Structure 1
Amino acid sequence: MGRPKGKNRKRKNLSEEPEFIGTVYPESMHDGGEDNAAGNDQPDEVMNEAVQTQINDETQSPEHRVCSQEPDLNDGLPNVDEDAFNEHAFMNDETPAPESEGTTAPNKPKRSRGPTRMKDIARDPNSRIKVEFNSMGEPYGSGSVKLSSYLGPLVREHVPVIIEDWRKIGEERRTVLWKSVQARFELDEEYHKMAVIKQMGCIWRASKSRLVSQIKSCKNNAERLKLRPKNIPPAEWRKFVKAKTSAAFEELSDTYKERRRNQIPHTCSRKGMVRLAEEMKKESSEPSEVTRLQVWVKSRTKKDGTAVNTNAAEKIKKAAELVETVSPSSTSTNPKEDLLSQLFGPDNPGRLRAMGRGMSQTKLACFQMKSKFMDGMKRDQLRLIQQVHDLEEALSKIRNQKQKAEVGENSAPRSVNMKLQMKCLLFDWAGTDEKVGEGRILSEEPEEFVNIIPLGPNSYKILVETAIKPEAYLWRPARNVFNMEQAVGEMIAWPQNFVVPFSSGCEPEDITPLLSELLQAA
């Protein structure tokens, strides 16, 4: 016998639409309340039969029928019975009867957008998506959009709405969430974790708020039971529904609704202030001049250029007047003194308008100080880089001078005018008074190079023309040039005390007495 068609069809659907593949769990993760082994894997029909059995057991005796120990979901709601939680009791008195053949069937409800699942990310766990962060530690760019879309279904799967406060989800569940995000996105720093966990909390609270609104709009308990998430047991769901439909919660909700009405809504949708500010900086020629006031005005303006409501229009008009009265040079970046604080007054403690979630004056001051030091380091780095470039240029010039000087090391430079250079006799630098060669004096500047070595003081740069004593050693040997015979046609260095210049009318035989006189004077 083959398997029932229903089971095969269900397994096929599960394999075709995996919500999260490869979710990372820590080894010490054993939270029975989250796993709900009896509730996550069973269909709603089985769960409803279990609820019906529990209700029947509690109501077997007349005493239980009069006063049941199970809390009633419908305190304050007329004609609502406990059996309404059973799926087989959906067709009760409050359910409209089927229409006759002559009546017109009502229009089908418009198909709405379902919950985000991000199946493409779930099916490709090997390629991690890069997420950019701005100087304030907030994500932005295309990677942050996918991150936000991924965090929604992830947090709805792992964090039940019956938890009272996001800060009470526990360290193990927090680790599961963070490891699952790291498996899909390039997030490794500690400040990445702080920003993502904070964003998860905001998404979880928004999802919980939408679920509570759906609970309030339901007409009976059967409709409320259909809204039960799979990670919440039926008993806990009944308690949650009762708490959210109580008079105390309604009073608290009305208070926050009234406070919400006094606020001016923005048109950023899921983009948020951070992404909007980064887009404005990217489009602006001067990103540093994008102020909080400009971001706020942009976020309260529709695509057609009109304000989101009349209150926003008045504030935008006043903002334009403030900008005209204040010069750009006197505009302050201090959130206590900038134009937005002048328009609305001081910000609430722990919050800053048009700066994203969780931004406070203390955090902003820390980030501004960090940016100031980073800018200073960048300026120093650019200055050092410029100095390195200058040194490289100087070294390049020195190398060029060496190359020019080395032209005469192998052959006499053609540009040297021999007639303008003074002829000289070279005597043995060892002090033997012997003539070793003849040449011409090219320079006596100490900065001149001879054989890649500066000439130095008390020396001549000599172009050797004749070797009188070929075996005489050079004062400064060079590569492959060690004696006068090898130095003919080359430029060498020779001490001034052993060089005697002579004019064209002077004979070399008359130079020897002059050299003796020079040596005696030295």
Structure 2
Amino acid sequence: MELEFNEFGQVVGHNSDKFVSIAGAIVREYVPVVIKNWPSVDDSKKIELWNFIQQRFNVNDCHQKMAFQCMGTYWRTFKSRLRRDIKRQVPSAVNRKRAIALLRPKNITSEEAWEKFVEDTLSTDFQEKSSKFSKMRSSQKLLHTMGRKGYSRMAHDLKRKNPNITGLRTTVWTHGHLRKDGNPINEAVAETLMKIKDYAESISDTPVENSIRDDAVARILGPKRRGRVRGLGLGVTPSKIDGNTQSSEKVRDLENKLQTQSVRMEALEEKVEALLKLSQNQNKNVEDMSSRAFTP
């Protein structure tokens, strides 16, 4: 299957939903959750995953890093959901051991490894960490409404509808926090969107409108943690933005130079054409004079 990539190497457009589904299924099937974390997955296993992706999609080696970033995210999400399901069995199931055993993925062949994973999930230390992160998530009020689509695919759709769109990140973030009926998902989002809208209007048609450091999203929400960019999707970093901006500026500069060169060439061609016409007229006049001179 063919895939489309944006300027940051993210999968967008046609078949992007199939990539998400297939990559998620592959990583769930072939990478056991008993592995400590994604960086601990063997390189040989990752190459195996990459081969599966290549068998299903038309991708090049330059897309490998992006694919691993996506699969790492899908794997961590699956692992988190499995831990949550294990914890839910503790107070409710009569036969807790059997209920937990039924949750065991088929790629975990070691009984000992599975029991260790369950024990770690139900340990006091892990429960405390889990509770801490749960409180942090519950305190988040700016909830998005994108589901699996994500910012990158939404940005692609918006640019496809309006190729000349400005303030893209602000527009994407706004759309990503509205319900299908166009209303904000909650009061906190409504208040934030109003502030973003007011600031966006104040910088409309200015250079900072498209700046990740000074646009409306940056000014109202503040910077995200180091190395991340809010509202543009997985894998986008400030350095990528800067590199893309510099590349775009170089392209625009080159286009301007080519345009200037083209105008000069057209002017030169007009001069040459005028000189040729002048030369032809002069030759014709000479011929006419010569003809009259030899007429009896």
TM-score w.r.t. the length of structure 1 is 0.50
Using the TM superposition, give the Cα deviation of residue 131 of structure 1 relative to its aligned residue in structure 2, in angstroms.
1.0
2:153 is the alignment partner of 1:275: yes
Distance 1:224 1:384 in 2: 72
Displacement of 1:461 in angstroms is: 3.2
- Once residues 243 and 120 of structure 2 are traced to their aligned partners in structure 1, the CA distance between those partners, rounded to angstroms, is 41
Report the equivalent of 2:26.
154
Distance 1:170 1:258, change over 3 A: same
Correspondence 1:270-419 to 2 at 5 A: 270-284=148-162, 286-287=164-165, 289-329=166-206, 331-380=208-257
User: What SS does structure 1 have at the residue aligned with 2:15?
Assistant: helix
Contact 1:215–1:241 under 8 Å retained in 2: yes
Q: In the superposition, relative to structure 1, how do residues 365 and 282 fare at CA in structure 2: closer, same or farther (>3 Å)?
A: same
- Per the alignment, residue 461 of structure 1 pairs with 287
Output the amino acid matched with 2:136: R
Which residue of 1 is the match for residue 122 of structure 2? 245
Q: Pick from 273, 277, 280 the counterpart of residue 448 of structure 1.
A: 280
Higher relative contact order (CA 8 A, sep 6+): 2
1:341 shift after superposition: 1.6
The match for 1:501 among 260, 280, 293 is: 293
Query: Residue 103 of structure 2 aligns to which amino acid in structure 1?
Result: L
Task: Give 1:255 shift.
Answer: 1.3
Are the structure 2 counterparts of residues 387 and 135 from structure 1 closer, same or farther at C-alpha, using a change threshold of 3 Å?
A: farther
The 3 A distance-change label for structure 1 pair 159 and 303 is: same
Q: Which amino acid aligns with 1:205?
A: R
Report if aligned partners of 1:281, 1:290 keep a CA contact under 8 Å in 2.
no
Residues 461 and 362 of structure 1: CA distance in aligned 2, closer, same or farther (over 3 Å): same
Is 2:51 the counterpart of 1:172? Answer: no
- Give 1:113's aligned residue: none
Cα distance in 2 between the residues matched to 1:143 and 1:353: 24
Residue from 182, 198, 204 that aligns with 2:54: 182
Report the AA paired with residue 347 of structure 1.
K
Contact 1:131 1:144 in 2 (8 A): yes
Letter matched to residue 117 of structure 2: F
1:140 lines up with 2:140 in the alignment: no
Residues 394 and 154 from structure 1, CA distance in 2 versus in 1: closer, same or farther, beyond 3 angstroms? farther
* 1:372–1:448 Cα change, 3 Å: same
* Candidates 189, 192, 196, aligned match of 2:67: 196
Q: State the structure with more CA Rg.
A: 1
Q: Percent identity?
A: 29
- In the TM superposition, residue 177 of structure 1 has moved relative to its aligned partner by 1.0
Aligned to 1:265: 143
Partners of 1:277 and 1:295 within 8 A in 2: yes
Q: Which runs of 5+ in 2 are unaligned?
A: none
1:443-499 alpha-carbon deviations (Å, 9 max, x no partner): xx7x239xxxx969xx94379xxxxxxxxxxxxxxxxxxxxxxxxxxxxxxxx7xx8
Which residue identity does 1:229 align to in structure 2?
P
Distance in 2, Cα, partners of 1:213 & 1:385: 64
The answer to whether the Cα contact below 8 Å between 2:212 and 2:218 also exists between their aligned partners in 1 is yes
Tell me by how many angstroms 1:273 deviates.
0.3
Instruction: Report deviation, 1:320.
Output: 2.6
What is the alpha-carbon distance in structure 2 between the residues aligned to residue 135 and residue 384 of structure 1?
28
**Alpha-carbon shift at residue 189 of structure 1 (Å):** 4.0
Give the distance between the partners of 1:389 and 1:270, measured in 2 at CA: 52
Alignment length, in residue pairs? 288
Q: In structure 2, do the counterparts of structure 1 residues 253 and 329 end up closer, same or farther at CA, with 3 Å as the change threshold?
A: same
Sort the Cα spacing of 1:244 and 1:394 in 2 relative to 1 into closer, same or farther, 3 A.
Answer: farther
Aligned to 2:98: 222
Give distance in 2, aligned partners of 1:370 and 1:253.
43
- Deviation string 1:176-216 (CA, Å, 9 cap, x unpaired) is 111111121111141x1111111111111111111111111
Q: Within 1, Cα distance between the matches of 2:226 and 2:153?
A: 23
* Structure-1 separation of matches of 2:152 and 2:216: 19
Deviations 1:217-245 (A, max 9, x none): 12311011011111102221111111111
Partners in 2 of 1:500 and 1:319 — Cα distance? 84
* Contact preservation (8 Å) 2:197, 2:216: no
Does the CA-based 8 Å contact 1:135-1:371 persist in structure 2? no
Code of the aligned partner of 2:150: G
Q: Distance in 1 between matches of 2:11 and 2:194?
A: 31
Note if contact 2:200-2:215 (Cα within 8 Å) is conserved in structure 1: no
Q: In structure 2, do the counterparts of structure 1 residues 382 and 319 end up closer, same or farther at CA, with 3 Å as the change threshold? A: same
Contact 2:23/2:71 (CA < 8 Å) preserved in 1?
Answer: yes
How far 1:343 sits from its partner (Å)? 0.8
Corresponding residue number in structure 2 for 1:12: none
CA distance in 2 between counterparts of 1:170 and 1:384 reads 54
Q: Which residue in the other structure is 1:54 paired with?
A: none
CA apart distance, 1:290: 3.4
Amino acid at match of 2:70: Q
In structure 2, relative to structure 1, the CA distance for the partners of 1:168 and 1:378 (3 Å cut) is farther
> Could you say which structure has the higher helix fraction?
2
1:211 aligns with 2:37: no
Unaligned runs of 5+ in 1: 1-128, 402-444, 464-495, 508-522
What does the per-residue CA deviation read over 1:375-426, in whole Å, with 9 as the maximum and x for residues that have no partner?
A: 333445566677788899999x79xx8xxxxxxxxxxxxxxxxxxxxxxxxx
Shift of the 391–224 alpha-carbon distance from structure 1 to 2, 3 Å rule, reads farther
Distance 1:391 1:182 in 2: 52
Are 1:130 and 2:7 counterparts? no
* Distance in structure 1 (CA, Å) of the matches to 2:245 and 2:11: 17
SS, match of residue 210 in structure 2: coil
* 2:40 matches 1:163: no
